Amino acid sequence: MASERESFDLSGPLHLTYVLWDNPYHRMSVAACLVQGVYILERDRQENRQGSDALAPPWWTFFHFQLLRPLVDDVDSSIFGAIYEFKPPSSQSNDTLYRSPRYVIAFRGTLTKAHSVSRDVELDIHFIRQGLHQTTRSNIAVQAVRNTVATVGDSNVWLAGHSLGSAMAMLTGKTMAKDGNFIESFLFNPPFVSAPLEKIKDERIKHGIRFAGSVITAGLTLAMKAKQPKDLSLDPFTALSAWVPCLFVNPSDHLCSEYIGYFEHRRNMEDIGAGVIERLATQNSLGGLLMGAFGKEYSEPLHLIPSASLTVNVAPASDFKEAHGIHQWWKPDLSLDYKLYNYK
């Protein structure tokens, strides 16, 4: 039997009957619903819900999107993404349509259902090990984005994802940014590979740990540069700095809450005159550098980015499931904190 959370009529933003495309809450809510549409597309496939029994379509048709095509994993045949096309009615008068996307490419996160969980968990592990870019699912995602951008241009495309899907959107967004295509991106509860330092309540202890980590990471980065000048001498963040994805995190979600401290610590280091140290540390993970120091292949940390528009849901969450869930991002009574971080 279908969950109430799968039904748009029962859990979707029915209050959002008129979208102002220059309104951050409206844009966030629509992007989150399109990601939810991918989750329900896969659940429809798993439960063999077709035609009038399918629950996925209202998650995009309510906002005048059409499903152009699903993105299917070549290993387990699960639907992990979707390409949507925006088709506003010609009769609709909306002065903000110039801010709307023409296409949205959305990716779901991990589904804990027997039909797809093993493949999703396998990809979660690849992400933790900095190897998501080596998977066939990521190749399918990147190619879909490349083809869409080649057809309509980067200014007409949005990327969106939740959890593992945020990591996939992050990977495709960074890949395109390196080629000079800066795609508007909505990353909900993006995973951050790190110890959950945000859980530490004492600000002095937390800052001390972060400062020590930055010094060690910067030192290892300099050592690696000395050994491999051609590979690590350039600042990869400079090329990516013009890409400013929108990150949506919850402090009670330990999988993504470190983004709060990651960006705030960078600003604090600048304020105390230690910006040079942090400039080296912010683009490298300590774990990845240690692996490189011991002769293992060094991969650029996917979760580390130079710039972001960070939105924090500061409303209390009852549990981790709520804090990590996609549904929170279209609630009408959200309490949000916005901060813009530009890498210079």
Q: Characterize the bridge pairing of strands 184-188 and 65-72.
A: unpaired
SS3 183: coil
Residue 298 reports pLDDT greater than 60: no
Tokens 């000395």: give the residue.
226
> Higher confidence at residue 201 or residue 87?
87
The DSSP string of 96-145 is TGGGS-SEEEEE-----STTTHHHHHHHHHHHHTT-GGGSHHHHHHHHHH
Sign, CA dihedral 115-118-123-124, equals positive
What mean pLDDT comes out for the span 86-99?
87
Q: Listing from the earlier edge strand, what are the strands of the sheet with 157-162?
A: 65-72, 79-86, 103-107, 157-162, 184-188, 246-249, 308-313, 336-341
Rg (CA), the chain: 20
pLDDT of residue 230: 47
- Among 215-219, 276-280, 286-290, the minimum mean pLDDT is found in 286-290
What are the phi and psi torsion angles at 68 (to 5°)?
A: -75, -50
Residue 288 reports pLDDT greater than 90: no
- Among 90-94, 133-137, 225-229, 302-306, the minimum mean pLDDT is found in 225-229
- Average model confidence (pLDDT) for the chain? 86
Residue 233 reports pLDDT greater than 90: no
Residues near 270 by beta carbon (within 8 Å), at least 6 away in sequence = 278
What mean pLDDT comes out for the span 88-93?
83
> Rounded CA gap, 226 and 235, in Å?
14
Give 26-76 pLDDT, tens digit per residue.
999 999 999 999 999 999 999 999 999 999 999 999 999 999 999 999 999
